[in-house]
Structure 1
Amino acid sequence: MSGSPGPDPTPPPLIQPGATARWAKTAAVTRLSALDQSGNLNTAHVTLAAATLGCSPRTVWRWIARARATGETTTTRAKFTITPEIRQLLALWGGNASAVHRELVQHCKQDPQLPKAPSLATLHRALRRDLTAGYRAGLARGEAARRAFDVYGQRPKEYRNAAWEGDHTSVPVQVLVEGEYAQPSLTWFIDCCTKVIMGVAVTPHTPSSDAVLAALRTALDRTMPFGPAGGLPNLVRVDRGKDFLSPAVSSSLGAFAVSVVDLPPYSPYLKGTIEALNDAVDQMLFVSMPRYVYRQKLIGGRVTDPDAPGLTFEAFVGLVLNWVHWWNTEHKPKELGGKTPMEAWRADPTPVYDVPASLLAHFGLQDDGRTRKIGTLGVQWRNRYYSGPWMVGLVGTPVVTRYLPHHDASIEVFDLDGRHMGTAVLSRAASKEQSRAVRNARTAQARRLRADLKAAEKLRRTRYQAATTAAPPQSLGALTQEQAEAELLETASEGRKVNPDYVPHQAVPEGWARPLTTKSPASRPDALEKNA
C-alpha cells in the first residue's frame, strides 16, 4: 500500500492572481527589505509573506536578495508598450492588430538592428493594457465610435424656466405639400427641468429664423395651446445654428435680457434634453406614419409599398400638435417621479415672469426705422401696397410697419406710440395657381440646366479599360486622326461665331472727305529749315 502524499509545500494563495497580486508582491518585498536593512528580518516574516502570496519561502528569499543587490523593490518585468508609431499603424489599418503585427515583423526583417517583434498575443495584451476601449474604437472607426465609450455627466436639476433648449429636427416622413412630397421640419423648445414642450413650429421646408421666432412666440405666451407653461427663461441653449444665432433672434431675446448660450458644434451631449425629445418623437410618432423614410426594407433596398399615400401637411401638423399635447399632459417621464411635465410645472413654486401682451406683439418683428402714412391704397412697403379692413377712415395716419423675417405676405402696423393697430396683407397678391405655375416653370428650367450639365460631364469623362497587370491605363473610345481633326475644327469654328446682328465695317468710299493726318512739329518743312 503506497503512502499518502506529503503536504504541499506551497499553500494556496490568499490573494488571487492579477493586479492585486502584483501590488501585494511589491508591498511585501518593500516591507521585507526594510526589515532586512534594520536587522529585524526573520524567517517568520518570510513564511507569512510566502503563505499570503502563494509561493515558497525560497522564492521570497530570492526576491529579498535581488532587492539587496539592486535596491529595487518592484518585481515586474519589462513590458512591451504601445508607441505612437504603433498607434499610427493601427489607425492606418483601421484597428486591425493582425495587420499591424505583420507590419512589425516585416520591419524587423528589413532592418536586423531593430528589436525582435512581439508576438500577436503580446501585441493584443499591450493594446488592451495601454489603450482604452474607446480609443481603440476611435482608431478603428473614428471619433463618433470613440464617443460611444465616453461617460457624460448630468446637469443638476434646477427649477422651471431656468434653462430652455432649442433645436431644429428634420422629420423622416414624406408629407404631401401642394401636390409634391417633401420632408418637413420641427423647431421647438423644451424646459430642461420639467420637460414641458414650451413651443413648436412646423415648416414644410428647411427652417430659418422665422421658424425660431414663431416657436419662441408660442413658448413665451402662457395661453393655449401650450399654456399655462410659458414666460421668460433665464437662458436658452442652442448648438451654433445660424438661425438660432441670427440678429433677429438675438435682438428679440436680448431685449428681455435672455442670454443665448452658443454650444460647441457636434456636441449633442451638451443639450441632452432636446436631443432626447428628438429621439422620442421619432420612436413614438414618426415611425408609425405613412411614408416613413427609415421603414423596413426588402431585399435590394426596395420598400414594401412605394406608392403608399402620404399625409397632407395639414394632417401632419395636427398629429404633431396632438402628440405635443399628449407629451405635456399625459406622458410621465421617469425623471419626474410619476408626474406629467405639466404637473411638474404646476408643482414648481418658482415665480414666472409673464411677457405683457403689448410687448409680445412686437416680439421677433423687425422694421427699417421709417415712418409711413396710410394712403388710399394702404401702406406702401418695399414698393408694394398692404391693406386691411381696419384701415377704413385712417387715411393720412402716420404709422410704423414691422415684419417677420422671410414673411412678405403680411406686415404688422403700429402707431407712433407702439400700439398694435392691425395686420395688413399684400394687395393684388398672385393667386395660388399663378404662384404654382411660376414655381413649375422655375423647376423645369432648373431640371433642364441640370440635364445639360450632366451631359457635359459625360462628354468630359474619360473611361479606361480594366487592367490585370501594373501598366499605364488605356483609354476607351479611341478616335481616328480624321475624327479628332474634324471635332477640333468644329470646336474652333464655334469659338469664332459672333452675334448674327453684328454688321462688319465696310471700306470708306472714295468720295468721302478724310481727316488730315496730324504731323509732329519736328516733321514740318518749316521746322526742318529752321533747324538747318
Structure 2
Amino acid sequence: MPNKPKYMRSALQRAVDELLELEQTRPLTPADLRAQAKISGYSSKHIRRTLQKVKAAPAEDGGGQFTVTEAVITAVFLCCGVLAQAYQLLAKTMPLPSQRTFRRRVREVMGNQIEYARGGSAGYREHQLYLRNDYPHRMHSLLLDHTELPIFVVPRGFKHAVKPWITAVMDGSTRYVLSWVVTFGRPTAEEVRAALVQAMTLRLAPDGDTVVGGRPLKAVWDRGLEFLATLITESCLRLNVMPIALPAYSPHLKGRLERFWRTLKTSLLPPLPGYSEGPQDLRGNSAISDAALGEDEFLVLLADWMDDYAVNHVIRTTGMTPLQAWRADGTPLDEIAPEQLWNDFLVSRDRCKVNRTGIRWDTIDWFAPELVDKIGRHVEIRHLPHDRSFIEVFLDGVHLCTAVPVQAATDETKQETIERRQAARAKAQQRFTAVNRIRRKGHDTVHKLAKDKDGKRVVVTPEDDLLSGGVQALEELFAKPAAEGGEQGRLF
C-alpha cells in the first residue's frame, strides 16, 4: 500500500490510542482492527504493526513515561526553539525517545510557544489567534493612521527630495477611505484635525451620485502623540465623537487600515520614479531612486489611485468594492453644521491681506462678494488639505465668507460683486456729499475756490462765474423797459 500523506497520521495515532484503551478492558480482536482501519483509512496490517511498535517503545524511551516537563521547555527556550539542538542538550542528562517522537510531543504541549522561543514577541504575534473586528454599520468607527511612503518626492518650492507621509481616515465597516492628507515630515495634530474634518464633511463620492461623510460614533487611532494631543481630543468631544486610543503594539486592532497601506505601497508606488524599496546596489542603496516626481504630479496620481481603489478594488472578504459596500449600508448619515467644523477642525494659516484682486494665497486669487469692502484688512483663512476649491475666511475670529478661486466664480457671484461695489460706492459718495455740506454750513464766511492757469487756488466771485453772470444780464435786459413804463424790451 502506498504511503499515506502526513495529514492522515493524526488519524493513525488516534486509532492506536483507542485500541490501547480498549485493550485495557478486554483482548483485541481482528474486528476491532478492521473497524479502526475503516475509520482511519489505514489497513489493518498497518495498524497492527504500529500498535506493536508502540508497545515495544517502553524499553526504548526510558520506561515509556516521557513527558514534556519544565526542564524540557526550558531547554527549548535555551536553544531558541531549535528542537534538534534541544534534543541533543537533553540527551546528555535524561533518557529520551526518538527525535521524531520528541518533536511531536514537544509541539503538542508547547504549541505556538515555540514561535515565541524562536522569534520573541514579534514572531509569536505572527502565529497568534486574532478575533475579527466587526463594525455594526458605516460611520460607526473611523480608523486613523499614517505611514511614511517608500518613494522620494520633491516638495513644491524645494529642490531636495524627501519621503512623504500620508494620513488616512477609513470607515471601519465598509473600508471606504473618506480622506487622506500628504505631508512632508511627520504629521502633526493640525494634519490629523484636517483629515478628520474632511472625512466628516458630506460630499459626493467619485461616482458623482453617492453621498459620503458625516458624524461618526468613534474615532480609533494608536498612541502617537499627534493623536493624543489635547487639541484633537477636545475637538472630537465638542462634536460628540468618542476618541479611542488603542493599546500599544496592537496594529491588528485596526488591521483593515494596515492592510490598506500594504495595497497602496505595492500597487501604486513601484512603477513610479523615486521608489526606494526596489533593487539595491552592492552598497545597499536603492538602484532606481535616482529620479523623483514633483509634489503636484504625485498628488494627482495619488488622488486618481484613491478614486480607483474606492470604485474598482474588490475586497476579498466582502466580494464588493468599498463604494459598493458603502451604498449597500443604509445607515443614515449624521450631518455636522459647517460652523462647528470651521471653528474646530479646519487648518489655520497665517493671516492674509485682502487686496484689489481678492486674497492671494498659494499662487491663487481667492474671491468672494463679501470682500468688496474689506480691501486692506488682514483676515485668517482656513482650508482643507489638497483641496483648492474653497477657503473659509475669518475676520477677527468671526466667519466672514467662503472664498473660491477667481476662475471658478459663477456669473451670479460676479454680478453680486458688481452690485455690492456700486452700492458701497454710492453709499460712500452720499455720505461724503452730506458731510461736505455740513462742513460748508458750519462757518459764516465761506468762499468758493478754484484753480487758475498756474494751479493756484483763488476765490470765485459771482462776477467770475459765467453762468451766474449770464442769468443776471438776462434779468436786467427784460426788467429795464418795464421799470421805465415803456414798451417791453425787444431782442431785435
Normalised by the shorter chain, which TM-score bucket? 0.5 to 0.7
Q: Which amino acid aligns with 2:16?
A: A
Q: Does 1:22 align with 2:2?
A: no
Query: Which residue of the partner structure matches residue 90 of structure 2?
Result: 104
Question: What is the 5 A alignment of 1:174-253?
Answer: 174-177=152-155, 178-223=158-203, 228-253=211-236
Q: Does 1:275 align with 2:258?
A: yes
Q: Aligned with 2:12: secondary structure?
A: coil
In the aligned structure 2, how far is the partner of 1:186 from the partner of 1:297? Answer: 25
Q: Aligned with 1:167: secondary structure?
A: strand
What is the CA-CA distance between 1:291 and the residue it aligns to? 1.6
In the aligned structure 2, how far is the partner of 1:317 from the partner of 1:259? Answer: 31
Q: Which has the larger radius of gyration?
A: 2
Query: Which residue of the partner structure matches residue 143 of structure 1?
Result: 121
C-alpha change, 1:29 and 1:297, in structure 2 (3 Å) is same
Aligned residues: 349
In the aligned structure 2, how far is the partner of 1:16 from the partner of 1:204? Answer: 59
What is the CA-CA distance between 1:411 and the residue it aligns to? 10
C-alpha change, 1:118 and 1:345, in structure 2 (3 Å) is closer
In the aligned structure 2, how far is the partner of 1:98 from the partner of 1:299? Answer: 36
Query: Which residue of the partner structure matches residue 75 of structure 2?
Result: 89
Q: Deviations over 1:278-299 (max 9, x none)?
A: 1110111122221211112245
Q: Aligned with 2:214: secondary structure?
A: coil
Q: Which amino acid aligns with 1:344?
A: A
Is the Cα contact below 8 Å between 2:66 and 2:97 reproduced in 1?
no
Candidates 114, 119, 143, aligned match of 1:165: 143
What is the CA-CA distance between 1:21 and the residue it aligns to? 2.5
In the aligned structure 2, how far is the partner of 1:151 from the partner of 1:255? Answer: 37
Q: Aligned with 1:317: secondary structure?
A: helix
What is the CA-CA distance between 1:199 and the residue it aligns to? 0.8
C-alpha change, 1:139 and 1:216, in structure 2 (3 Å) is same
Query: Which residue of the partner structure matches residue 341 of structure 1?
Result: 322
C-alpha change, 1:175 and 1:50, in structure 2 (3 Å) is closer
Question: What is the 5 A alignment of 1:399-438?
Answer: 413=394, 419-420=399-400
Q: Deviations over 1:186-214 (max 9, x none)?
A: 00111122221111111011111111111
C-alpha change, 1:99 and 1:51, in structure 2 (3 Å) is closer
Is the Cα contact below 8 Å between 1:194 and 1:336 reproduced in 2?
no
Q: Aligned with 2:145: secondary structure?
A: strand
Q: TM-score, normalised by structure 1?
A: 0.56
Q: Which amino acid aligns with 2:172?
A: C
In the aligned structure 1, how far is the partner of 2:33 from the partner of 2:15? Answer: 15
C-alpha change, 1:165 and 1:176, in structure 2 (3 Å) is same
In the aligned structure 1, how far is the partner of 2:169 from the partner of 2:309? Answer: 13
C-alpha change, 1:216 and 1:80, in structure 2 (3 Å) is same
Candidates 300, 304, 316, aligned match of 2:298: 316
C-alpha change, 1:316 and 1:78, in structure 2 (3 Å) is same
Q: Which amino acid aligns with 1:156?
A: D
Q: Does 1:123 align with 2:102?
A: yes
Q: Deviations over 1:257-308 (max 9, x none)?
A: 111222111111111111111111011112222121111224553543453x
C-alpha change, 1:123 and 1:169, in structure 2 (3 Å) is same
Structure 1, gaps ≥5 residues long = 1-14, 33-42, 64-75, 109-114, 368-373, 375-387, 405-409, 424-532
Q: Which amino acid aligns with 1:413?
A: F
What is the CA-CA distance between 1:312 and the residue it aligns to? 1.1
Is the Cα contact below 8 Å between 1:28 and 1:49 reproduced in 2?
no
Query: Which residue of the partner structure matches residue 314 of structure 2?
Result: 332
Q: Which amino acid aligns with 2:234?
A: S
Candidates 126, 130, 134, aligned match of 1:156: 134
Q: Deviations over 1:431-463 (max 9, x none)?
A: xxxxxxxxxxxxxxxxxxxxxxxxxxxxxxxxx
Q: Which amino acid aligns with 2:237?
A: G
In the aligned structure 1, how far is the partner of 2:294 from the partner of 2:347? Answer: 32
Q: Deviations over 1:14-54 (max 9, x none)?
A: x9631243134325535x5xxxxxxxxxx8x9675576566
Question: What is the 5 A alignment of 1:432-451?
Answer: none
In the aligned structure 1, how far is the partner of 2:399 from the partner of 2:289? Answer: 53
Q: Deviations over 1:90-130 (max 9, x none)?
A: 33332233333343345x3xxxxxx4466644533332232
Q: Which amino acid aligns with 1:273?
A: R
Is the Cα contact below 8 Å between 1:101 and 1:123 reproduced in 2?
yes
In the aligned structure 2, how far is the partner of 1:265 from the partner of 1:283? Answer: 26
In the aligned structure 1, how far is the partner of 2:95 from the partner of 2:326? Answer: 68
C-alpha change, 1:50 and 1:391, in structure 2 (3 Å) is closer
C-alpha change, 1:340 and 1:80, in structure 2 (3 Å) is closer
C-alpha change, 1:253 and 1:190, in structure 2 (3 Å) is same
C-alpha change, 1:121 and 1:335, in structure 2 (3 Å) is closer
In the aligned structure 1, how far is the partner of 2:102 from the partner of 2:254? Answer: 39
What is the CA-CA distance between 1:159 and the residue it aligns to? 1.6
Q: Aligned with 2:132: secondary structure?
A: coil
Q: Aligned with 1:288: secondary structure?
A: coil
Q: Which amino acid aligns with 2:330?
A: P
In the aligned structure 2, how far is the partner of 1:225 from the partner of 1:131? Answer: 51
Candidates 273, 278, 295, aligned match of 1:295: 278
In the aligned structure 1, how far is the partner of 2:149 from the partner of 2:346? Answer: 27
Is the Cα contact below 8 Å between 2:270 and 2:278 reproduced in 1?
yes
Q: TM-score, normalised by structure 2?
A: 0.61
Query: Which residue of the partner structure matches residue 461 of structure 2?
Result: none
Q: Aligned with 2:67: secondary structure?
A: coil
Q: Aligned with 2:178: secondary structure?
A: strand
Q: Deviations over 1:459-482 (max 9, x none)?
A: xxxxxxxxxxxxxxxxxxxxxxxx
Is the Cα contact below 8 Å between 1:160 and 1:193 reproduced in 2?
yes
Q: Deviations over 1:205-228 (max 9, x none)?
A: 111111111111111111357772
Is the Cα contact below 8 Å between 1:90 and 1:140 reproduced in 2?
no
Query: Which residue of the partner structure matches residue 80 of structure 1?
Result: 67
Q: Aligned with 2:190: secondary structure?
A: helix
User: Please, what is the CA RMSD of the aligned residues?
Assistant: 4.2
Query: Which residue of the partner structure matches residue 266 of structure 1?
Result: 249
Is the Cα contact below 8 Å between 2:167 and 2:192 reproduced in 1?
yes
